[in-house]
Structure 1
Amino acid sequence: MDKKAKAAVYIGTDNRAWVHFQEKNKVTAPLLATPFADNLTECVVYLDEAHTRGVDLKLPPQARSALTLACSQTKDSTMQAAMRLRQLGTTQSVTFFAPPEVDQSIREFFNPLLNEEIDSSHVVHWLLEQTCRTNEDLQGLYVAQGMDFCRCTDAAWRYRKVLTDEGQRASLLDVLRQPERQTLEQLYGAAPASSAASSISDPQLQAFAEQLRRHNGRAGGCQPGALEEVEQERELQVQVEQVRQSKKPVQYDAMPFPGLHPHILHFARSGVLVVRQSDTQGTQGPGAERALSSIAKTNVGKRFDIRETSSRLYASREFWNTIIQFEAVGKVADNFLRPVEWILWSPKHDTALVVIPEEAELLIPVIRGAGADSPVYLLAYAVPVTKSMMHFNDLKYYTVPELPDGYCFPEWLRIELGIFAGRLYVDIEEWAALSSYVRQPSAGISAARELTPSMGIAKFSDDPAAFLLEWLTLWRKTQDILHTPMGYICTGRALEEDHPFRDQTS
């Protein structure tokens, strides 16, 4: 921040330029009523994205701008902001500022060397790539608009006597009027294209519609991100009518850690995990529950009817206990999910238990005390949300005690753990099995059972792909998951031979 600036200039809610003085005894005033109207040299100027169009302030010849970047930002919006500097490229300059997720996205796109710096050429190239991805996602919308144009134009040419013939007037209205209460998928999805093309009688318009249908087939339909953008546009007028009021964030109290559950301690010493209610002693209840089935306690899990499975992946009861407000009603706060960081693994019984850091801290002395005879291993884990984190997929990054040479974890554990923890990047060897399980339920179950013939993996949801899109979005709030390997798998998009996802180097 410029401490020497005498004032800050910004665009107010009335779309006028205002000046906020650094001196506390001066009140905010319109720019035209201040000495800075003709000279902004000693001012800091702030323009939000909404006011980078149509605002033309006379900035100093030596001005330097700080242009912020965001995920999925396009070239057009960036150029609108940068060209507020009318002498850019001569005496004025731009410095790009990017949050960690954007910096990571740029580095993953270019895969620079260890000490290579990111400059403006990388940013421009990355912006062009984001623009292409945005256009690709919106292609389904353009096709829907084109089909609607062909259909309406064909009706207008067919019924030329609408002013005199009541029958033609009614037929034209039937074509022009769209039924109410349609979902966004029905309005802008790929399904209506073929039916609309068959109802067009004009040969020229039929050719246009057929060309649009072919384009829509190659694009793979409308992506969920595009539908969200349309939904925002449709609700824009309602949002303008709303009166916004400032609301202080709610302060939640963290739930205290009650200590290590006896069942988890028993699992660490024997490798046998007690989960049945009949096996419990006292009033504490079981110390763990099946990980995938426990997702049913979240709002996303309830919406997709997550069911009980025969999985051997469990989660500690304390994993879901985060804030006190949800303890009494037995719910899980979707906005307060813990990351998966520590896993107890029993190779003899093929059982994995996700534990929280407080439990792991108490378990480390127990496991180290058993030495090489320990029946369980404590595994450090971080969810691969970027390509550079894929080395965590093999679960061998750090273990207590050390794993035997050549030990391999079962494939079902990596798949289920990735689903539970919100993994975005998968190894290419897992792609086929995971894609079959997510996109084709019947084939997915058999494929999963081939991975674990002794127990099998039951289907935990009727539509795993739709659930995963919601579940991954809940975990990765600021990331665009559609352009990650899991996004490709959930949307059923094909992976070309030369796609960067096939390159396992980070």
Structure 2
Amino acid sequence: MPYSFVTCPACERLHRCIFYLDEIHTQGTDFKFPVEFKAAVTLGNRLTKDCFVQACMRMRKLGHGHSLKFWSSYEVHQQIKTLKLKSIDQYQKDNRNDFIKLIDILRWVYENTQQSTWDGLHHWAAQSLSYQRKVSAFRHINWNDNQQEFTNDLIKDLANECSEPEVIQLINMYGASKTMQTLLEIYRNRYEQTSYGIWQEMRDQVLKRLEDYAGKK
């Protein structure tokens, strides 16, 4: 039978406890850690700003009695060092040391966040096409008509128009010749090749966002 943490004897002895919080449990967790409590934050591959801040801010008195240390794998350590070297001038390179500072970790997290955002633009644009296809599929339904009949044929048509292809042939995925294109060019072409009704305002907003932020894919 589960018990509330406040009834546990450890609740009054947090200074003698070790806590392990994985990525999921850092969200919404609020232990009243005593002053001078220390935490070790593990730095995993592709760690982004939101996850990083979620983990660090479990220490509610950070800078006022709470402190952090950072642990990473060798691979992550090398990534941080590489970014550090790219950010310094020749004089600093000649007089550099390999000591990793907080600013170096923050630079690495920022770089990961940028890359994650850029990678997500492709999926975001793909979802806009999927959403518009579903909106188009419902165009034959008059929602203000209480006498609207949902016949078997209507339901089948909706399912066919809304469903994503479950099988994609390899030749369709990799058979075409490869050319370097921006995400804007890719999705502008996809919009032109669609056979269903497109919401013009949404199309323009998606393409504008890709024009502002996306590069080549």
Q: Determine if the alignment matches structure 1 residue 194 to structure 2 residue 191.
A: yes
Q: Determine if the alignment matches structure 1 residue 39 to structure 2 residue 21.
A: no
Q: Whole-Å Cα distance in 2 between the matches of residues 217 and 130 of structure 1?
A: 16
Equivalent residue in structure 1 for 2:112, among 113, 123, 130: 130
Contact 2:35/2:66 (<8 A) preserved: yes
Cα RMSD (Å)? 3.6
Cross-structure match for 1:49: 23
Q: Give runs of aligned pairs for residues 373-384 of structure 1, distance below 5 A.
A: none
Deviation (angstroms), 1:124: 1.1
Q: Whole-Å Cα distance in 1 between the matches of residues 198 and 128 of structure 2?
A: 16
Deviation (angstroms), 1:211: 4.5
Equivalent residue in structure 2 for 1:164, among 146, 149, 156: 149
Contact 1:159/1:172 (<8 A) preserved: no
Select the structure of larger CA radius of gyration. Answer: 1
Equivalent residue in structure 1 for 2:161, among 163, 166, 175: 175
Contact 1:106/1:122 (<8 A) preserved: yes
Contact 1:197/1:206 (<8 A) preserved: no
Q: Whole-Å Cα distance in 2 between the matches of residues 154 and 69 of structure 1?
A: 44
Q: What are the superposed Cα offsets for residues 230-259 of structure 1, whole Å, 9 maximum, x if unpaired?
A: xxxxxxxxxxxxxxxxxxxxxxxxxxxxxx
Q: What are the superposed Cα offsets for residues 346-392 of structure 1, whole Å, 9 maximum, x if unpaired?
A: xxxxxxxxxxxxxxxxxxxxxxxxxxxxxxxxxxxxxxxxxxxxxxx
**CA shift in 2, pair 1:58/1:206, >3 Å:** closer
Contact 1:143/1:212 (<8 A) preserved: no
**CA shift in 2, pair 1:178/1:64, >3 Å:** same
Q: What are the superposed Cα offsets for residues 81-124 of structure 1, whole Å, 9 maximum, x if unpaired?
A: 11111111222111112222111111111206432532112111
More strand by share: 1
Deviation (angstroms), 1:202: 4.1
Q: Whole-Å Cα distance in 2 between the matches of residues 106 and 117 of structure 1?
A: 11
Q: Whole-Å Cα distance in 2 between the matches of residues 38 and 68 of structure 1?
A: 27
More helix by share: 2
**CA shift in 2, pair 1:203/1:169, >3 Å:** farther
Deviation (angstroms), 1:75: 1.3
Deviation (angstroms), 1:129: 0.7
Cross-structure match for 1:143: 125
Contact 2:121/2:214 (<8 A) preserved: no
Q: Whole-Å Cα distance in 2 between the matches of residues 89 and 196 of structure 1?
A: 55
Q: Whole-Å Cα distance in 1 between the matches of residues 8 and 199 of structure 2?
A: 64
Give the TM-score, by structure 2 length: 0.70
Contact 2:36/2:65 (<8 A) preserved: yes
**CA shift in 2, pair 1:55/1:116, >3 Å:** same
Q: Secondary structure at the match of 2:18?
A: strand
Q: What are the superposed Cα offsets for residues 244-292 of structure 1, whole Å, 9 maximum, x if unpaired?
A: xxxxxxxxxxxxxxxxxxxxxxxxxxxxxxxxxxxxxxxxxxxxxxxxx
Cross-structure match for 1:398: none
Bigger relative CO (Cα 8 Å, ≥ 6 apart): 2
**CA shift in 2, pair 1:57/1:146, >3 Å:** same
Deviation (angstroms), 1:168: 5.7
Q: Secondary structure at the match of 1:45?
A: coil
Q: Whole-Å Cα distance in 2 between the matches of residues 77 and 217 of structure 1?
A: 23
In structure 2, stretches of 5+ residues that fail to align are 174-182
Q: Secondary structure at the match of 1:41?
A: helix
**CA shift in 2, pair 1:173/1:59, >3 Å:** same
Equivalent residue in structure 1 for 2:201, among 199, 204, 207: 204
Q: Secondary structure at the match of 1:140?
A: helix
Q: Whole-Å Cα distance in 1 between the matches of residues 43 and 198 of structure 2?
A: 48
**CA shift in 2, pair 1:213/1:155, >3 Å:** farther
**CA shift in 2, pair 1:210/1:159, >3 Å:** farther
Q: Whole-Å Cα distance in 1 between the matches of residues 34 and 103 of structure 2?
A: 25
Q: Whole-Å Cα distance in 2 between the matches of residues 217 and 83 of structure 1?
A: 31
Instruction: Give the number of equivalent residue pairs.
Output: 191
Q: Whole-Å Cα distance in 2 between the matches of residues 168 and 34 of structure 1?
A: 58
Q: Whole-Å Cα distance in 2 between the matches of residues 165 and 36 of structure 1?
A: 59
